[in-house]
Amino acid sequence: MREKQSVTSVVTHADGSTRLQTIRRELHPRYYNVVDKLGKKTGVPVVLNKSFNI
């Protein structure tokens, strides 16, 4: 994923780490398909689910 770090900076901590959550097609097929299609279109199969703590 490091090669995509510049386009995923919003979900990357300052130290370069992330808190990834993976999904499995068998358990969540509809959501998996959304992420899969997004990845094919953009080259980055990442969906942002971010809480903005103030």
pTM over 0.85: no
Which residue is listed with tokens 């703590």? 53
Report the distance separating Cα 54 and Cα 47, nearest Å: 22
Report the distance separating Cα 36 and Cα 15, nearest Å: 27
The answer to whether 11 and 46 are in contact (CB under 8 A) is yes
The answer to whether 11 and 50 are in contact (CB under 8 A) is yes
Which residue is listed with tokens 């080259």? 43
pLDDT tens-digit series, residues 19-53: 778 899 999 999 999 999 999 998 888 887 766 66
- Domain residue ranges in the chain: 2-42
pLDDT tens-digit series, residues 1-19: 566 667 666 677 778 777 7
